[in-house]
Structures are given as structure tokens and as C-alpha cells.
Structure 1
Amino acid sequence: MKADEMWKVSTGKGVKVAVVDSGVSPDTPSLKGQVLDETPHAVGYKATKDYTGHGTTMAELIAGTGAGGGLKGLAPEAKIVPYRINADSLKDKVDQENAPKLADVIRAIADSDVKIISMSFGADAENSEDLAAFKYAHSKGKLMFAAAGNEAQKKNLIGYPAAYPYVVGIAASDEDGSVGKFSEHGNYVDLASPGLSVPVWCDEKLKAYCLSQGTSQATAIASASAALVWSAHPDWTANQVLASLIDTAGRDWARDDPSTYLGYGLIRPRKVLEDSGYKPVAADTDPLATENAEGVEEDPSAASPSASTSSQAPKDTSGGATSAAGSSSESSDDTTMWVTLGAAAAVLVVGGGAFAVIRSRRRT
């Protein structure tokens, strides 16, 4: 993504990102000073106690400084506001009773000065309270990103909150722009972001990094991309930031014919930042208006696991299906290699170039 070039223009300074996940530890070397003590008490149960390491990873991918051999995120001067939500992965009964509901968390964030909500989790059923909360957050000018899900090879169910109106559904791609074969697909996928071979904390002990893959990581990187753009253009609205990312996304198909697998294409914030004369859309223009009006649809060509061998399937990529910790329906991310903490930071330099993929049209 040529992060070094982008950082000459923007580092995310002045932008707050809410990480709604398994909690975020503020004590890793990379996150010291990056996690704000601004989580409202009513929804702040153990927000800074990460029970899996997942939320801490997402926070580092967004705003890690790279200190002490830790991850350097894509928006290293953005700030994180942590939230823990109730999920099936919470095994402790006391935690289950006290962790806030997603709808309550989203409403609390909506009433704060946080600009971006990053959600690396998912479920396969919608909830009326959650839907109302997301509509409320949209009305308050928040930009919301959520993981599309990692079960494409098994069941490829519609994933929420990614499929809710006004929430940007994120797929995972590799450094060449090919969609991960685990990445769920449907007309709720709006953008793709790097999500393969990304360093993550191996577990809740936060002692070592592993390489992993998932739409969780892709969502965090997409959220950081938005933070870079919003920091450079603080007067823009959420609609304008999102529209700029859609407009400049890497794709080899028509903008008005989004892909079922990759949405409007691979996110490329550099294309916005390097254009000093970039003109945003009108402040009240909804870049997802068509999707929000039509609602979510099943994709018949992609619903079956056998679609991986069809002419409409994504390119093959290495690795199996993984999923986000903190999900109400999925297990924790698979890991493939142990990486011990070294003296040098693991700088996020994942790809973001051109696309050359076989895709499925959303609508016929």
C-alpha cells in the first residue's frame, strides 16, 4: 500500500476509531498511548481486558506505533477507543452477564466524537435492535466497517453487521488483489482490503505474533485507510470519505457493476491522498444508496462451496478458512506460523495494487 508515501501526507492524526471486539489491551508496546480512556462506563465492561488477543491485534493494525518490536498500523497517529461486546466466544458466565449488547455499544459510540467504527466479527442472523442502532449511528455521521466473514468454503451465509444498511462490508484479498477463498461473498460486500498473511497476536497472552488471514484483518486495514483520508480531509463527511475510497478502489470492471466477491474493488487510500485536487461528492450523497435501497440478496452463483471450481469463483489463494474471535457464530483465527517479538517493528506493508480476478456480477 506504499505506507511510507502515504505517511508523508497523513498518519491518521486527529481521528478516533472505535474497535468493537474482544477488548483491547492498552499495554502492548505498540499501543502505549494509543488507547483512549473514553469508553462510556455503561458499556465499558472490561473494554481494556482482551480475552483472546483479537481486539488488540485489530487495534494495532489500525493505530499501532511499531514501538518495542510491535506492529506498526496503517494509521499510526490515529487513536483507539476500545469496546468489548457479548459473544459466544465469551465463556465466563459473569462476563456474559456483564458485557454490553452490540446495539448499546453502537448507540454509545454514535453519541461520541469517534468517527470510525471497526467491527471484525460477524453473525449469520440480523437483529432489529442492532439494525436500529446502526441506522442511528449513520444519522450521527459515523463511518462503519465490518468483516464479511470467513466461511465461504463451508456455508457462505450472509454476515451481519456487514450486511446491515450503511455498514461497509469488507472482503479479504492477497497482495495481488485476489480474493481469499475463505472470504464470504454476496451483494453486501462493498470493498476488499488486504487480509492474507497478516501478523496477529497468537493468543490472549500477547507474547508472540503469528501470521494469519481473515476478513477481520482486512476490516481493520480498511478502517485505518479511512482514518488516513479523514485525517487529511477533516471537514469531509463519512459519505465523502467512503465515496473517495470507492471511487479510487482498484478494479478492472465498471464502477456501477460491483463484484459479489470484491465489491467496488481493493481499497487504495494512497490514490486519494496523493491527489491534492481531489474533489469529493456532495456531503449528503450516500455512496451505498443502491445497496441500501435494494437490501441484501443471496448470490446463487456463490452460495455453494462448489462455486470454488466454477468460472465465477475467485482466484485460488493459499490457506484455509479462518474467522474472527468475538464472533457469535465463528471460531478464532487460524494461525500458520509463530513469530517472536524482535527489536524491529513489523511494519504493515501489505499490497494494494491492480486487480486481475474472475468475478461474479452482483445483479443480472
Structure 2
Amino acid sequence: MIKMSSRVGQMFAVPAVLAVTAGVVTSTPSPARAAPNGWELAAMSVPAANKISKGEGITVAVIDTGIRTDHRALRGRATEGTDFLAETDQNESWYGRHGTSMASSVLDVAPAAGVLGLRAIRDDEDPDFQTWLEQMESYGENPEKEKREGLAVERAIRAATDQGAKVISMSLGSETSSGSYIHREAEAIAYALSKGVVVVAGAGNWGDEQNELAYPAAYPGVIAIGAATPQGTRAKFSQVHSHVDVVTPGVEIYSANIDGGREKVQGTSSATALAAGVAALIVSKYPDLSPRQVEQLLQRTASTHRKGHNPQTGYGMVDAEAALKAAAGLKPGNAVLPVGKQGAGGHFGPGDDGTPQRIGQPWDTAYLVISGIGGGLGLLGLLVGLILFLAGRRAAARSRPPALTPG
């Protein structure tokens, strides 16, 4: 399973620190009825879409763990850019496992595009890889490294924009229950959007656990991607939130491994890379469309868009051919995000990402039970405290000498 990267941000007190890591890519378990290799392309109508566009002239920046440019799935179409972790471990056997897998999925959809690999997170096998809890426990031991890694994603976004990328793909996300909103990253994304760069990120892989809020997917203007099964339903791990825009295949994805071959993997990481490839097809054919228009095309041509938005799968499965055909009738739009009346968008940042702000969802029964127990214990504690307080006052009153009366 491809796990979304884990991130933990030390906000407010030390806003400069944001530790970021990436999950390992492993083969998916063999189901009773396995999907054929490459099913993901047919599910998104990519073969038909490639008759219209193959992503010519477009660079997709894959901000990840680095890439293996000599892999046959990437050879001649990928460039290794800056390592924002400032490491010298590119020759290690584990290097670029996650990033190489993502880059191959981008190129499977947009075979004439190019990939720019920018390292900003770590593979699980990296000796310096830490879980968010380990990052918290070791915080302060190496301030210079912590600051460098905390700024890596933001710097990579800006570098990708300045180096001419037209699509940014980020298969990474926070794993803490409160998410990791970092204002500098939101500003970097706003900068990319203002330059006409489409930004894509994964919704996260904890939908069957705590369903935490994941950044950068939750930043305004980012196209948030969920993962779907071969049956078109939400993959059980894909997170459920109102900012999920669409889904793409995220189970049994046939992607590159660092041993030189391919293997089946799963996760919203892969779904993100596939969506970034579709965005590259659109931008290549219609380079004057704004990022918001690309997002709307994906939404309005997705499989269930007529039913409206739902937080599990957004507007449904991406249809690359339909999106390209619909794009033909659009006039170029403004790349700048619209800003709400109060100067802030509906989703945690300086602009509105266009997704519904309020969507009715059933309460999670587990949270209701926990909240009920906690509330009951709290109320019981208050009652006990009140009883003890009143009993104490009565006891004190009994212990006082009787009041003197005027004679």
C-alpha cells in the first residue's frame, strides 16, 4: 500500500518547523479477482483522451521523495531537480521509491509530458525517516535540520513554479488529527495558482481510521483527490471530507518500482499522480485555462457530477476524454483565486477553492459514543463536586458558634 506521507507541524509557537516524511510503496494484497494491469487508464478514458492530447510541452513537478530518472518508465522524460532536504544519499538503494512510483503514474497518463522531481519528503526506508510522534519527541535536537525540512515543501512549490512547471503533484499529507495548516505553504500555493499552475494533492489514506484533515489537500485552490476502486466506489482508506473534489483509481495501480520493474500498489498517492497526468493533458491542449477552470472541468465531467457533490468521492471518477472535450468550449479565465467578503476563502486560507462549505453528513457513531461517555463523566464530576461543595458549606455552618442576638 502506498501511504500518504506523514507530516507534523509545530504551529504558533514555532511556525518555521514542519517535519515531512513519505510512506513506503508495497504491493497490494492479491484479491480474489484482481484488476488487470493498467485498468486505471481505461477507467479514466485515457486511451481516448490521448488521441486528443498526450501532455506535449508540459512539465509536471512531482514534489516527493526524489525520482530515479534511469528507470525505463521515466527515462528521457524525467529530470531530477533540487533536493530541498540537502542530502547526499541519492545512490542509496531505497532512494526515490515513492517518488519514482508517482512519476511513472503521471507519465502513464501523459506520455509526452516531462516530470521534474523535487525532493521534499523522505521514504520510509530512509534512516532519517521519523513518524510524527518521533518528530515531536526529538524536536529541538537539530534546529537547523528541522527548519530546513520544515521549509522544504514550501520551497519546492515555489521552485516548481519558477522553473516552469504547469502542474504540481503532491502525494503527501499530514497525519495528525488537527492537520498541519502552515500559512507559508498556503501562500506558496497561492503564488503557484497566480502563475497559472494547477496544484493537485491527495485527500489522505486514513479514511478507515481517524479520517484526519490532510494538508496540502485542504488548502484553498488545491484539487483534492480521493481514491477509487475498480468498481468505482471509494477505496476504504480514502479520506472523507467536503474538500474532496474528485476521485481517480487508487487500488491495484501498476506503477514503477525502484528495482527497474513495476508492481501493483494502492493509495491516494497514486490517485493524485494519475489526476496530475490528466491535468497535464488539459493544460497541454488548452494552455490558457486557469487552474480553477481545470478544477471545474474535472468536477463537471466526472462520473457522478449530476448527482452533486458528496464528501466520499467528490463529483465522482475523473473522465479525461470528457474533460478535454468540454474544455474546447471554454474561454480563458482569471488565474487569481476569488476572495470572500472578509478577505478569506471558505477553506482555511486566502481564497475560495470552490468546493461546498457545508455538507450534511451523518455523525460518526464512534465519536458520538465517546463524546456521550465523556460528557456523562464530566456531568457526573460536576454533580459530585457540587454535592461536596454544598456538604462542605453545611458542615462549616454547623461548626460555627451560634450568632449573638442583640440583647
Q: Same fold (TM over 0.5)?
A: yes
SS of the residue 1:294 aligns to: coil
Contact 2:194 2:337 in 1 (8 A): no
How far apart are 1:128 and its partner, in Å? 2.2
How far apart are 1:295 and its partner, in Å? 1.7
The structure-2 alpha-carbon separation of the partners of 1:134 and 1:288, relative to structure 1 and needing over 3 Å to count, comes to same
RMSD of aligned C-alpha atoms?
A: 3.3
Distance 2:182 2:363 in 1: 22
Distance 2:316 2:336 in 1: 20
SS of the residue 2:314 aligns to: coil
| 1:234 matches 2:287 | yes
Q: 2:106 maps to what in 1?
A: 62
Q: 1:18 maps to what in 2?
A: 61
Unaligned stretches of 5+ in structure 2? 1-43, 130-141, 349-356, 368-407
The one-character-per-residue Cα deviations of 1:30-55 (angstroms, maximum 9, x if unpaired) are 11111135x35777756966625111
Distance 1:287 1:212 in 2: 37
The range that moved more, 163-172 or 278-287, is 278-287
Letter in 2 for 1:2: S
Distance 1:274 1:298 in 2: 31
The structure-2 alpha-carbon separation of the partners of 1:143 and 1:160, relative to structure 1 and needing over 3 Å to count, comes to same
Q: Please, which of 247, 250, 259 is the counterpart of residue 206 of structure 1? A: 259
The one-character-per-residue Cα deviations of 1:170-205 (angstroms, maximum 9, x if unpaired) are 000123321111100111211111111112345xx4
Q: Please, which of 103, 114, 117 is the counterpart of residue 154 of structure 2? A: 103
Which structure would you say has the larger RCO, counting Cα contacts within 8 Å and 6 or more residues apart?
A: 1
Distance 1:234 1:10 in 2: 12
How far apart are 1:249 and its partner, in Å? 1.3
SS of the residue 1:262 aligns to: coil
Q: 2:50 maps to what in 1?
A: 7
The one-character-per-residue Cα deviations of 1:129-158 (angstroms, maximum 9, x if unpaired) are 222222222222211111111111111000
The structure-2 alpha-carbon separation of the partners of 1:216 and 1:164, relative to structure 1 and needing over 3 Å to count, comes to same
Distance 2:208 2:220 in 1: 25
The structure-2 alpha-carbon separation of the partners of 1:253 and 1:241, relative to structure 1 and needing over 3 Å to count, comes to closer
Contact 2:248 2:272 in 1 (8 A): yes
The structure-2 alpha-carbon separation of the partners of 1:41 and 1:284, relative to structure 1 and needing over 3 Å to count, comes to closer
Letter in 2 for 1:161: P
Aligned pairs for 1:22-101 (under 5 A) are: 22-36=65-79, 39-40=81-82, 51-63=95-107, 73-87=108-122, 89=124, 90-92=126-128, 101=152
The one-character-per-residue Cα deviations of 1:227-286 (angstroms, maximum 9, x if unpaired) are 01111112322222222222211115444xx21111122211200334584324633585
Q: 1:178 maps to what in 2?
A: 233
Aligned pairs for 1:1-364 (under 5 A) are: 1-36=44-79, 39-40=81-82, 51-63=95-107, 73-87=108-122, 89=124, 90-92=126-128, 101-123=152-174, 124-201=179-256, 205-251=258-304, 253-255=306-308, 258-274=309-325, 277-280=328-331, 282-284=333-335, 293-295=345-347, 301=361, 304=364
Identity %: 30
The range that moved more, 162-171 or 259-268, is 259-268
Tell me the matched-pair count: 292
Contact 1:239 1:287 in 2 (8 A): no
The structure number with the bigger radius of gyration is: 2
Q: 2:11 maps to what in 1?
A: none
Q: 1:311 maps to what in 2?
A: none
Distance 2:189 2:159 in 1: 11
The structure-2 alpha-carbon separation of the partners of 1:46 and 1:149, relative to structure 1 and needing over 3 Å to count, comes to farther
TM-score (normalizing by structure 1): 0.70
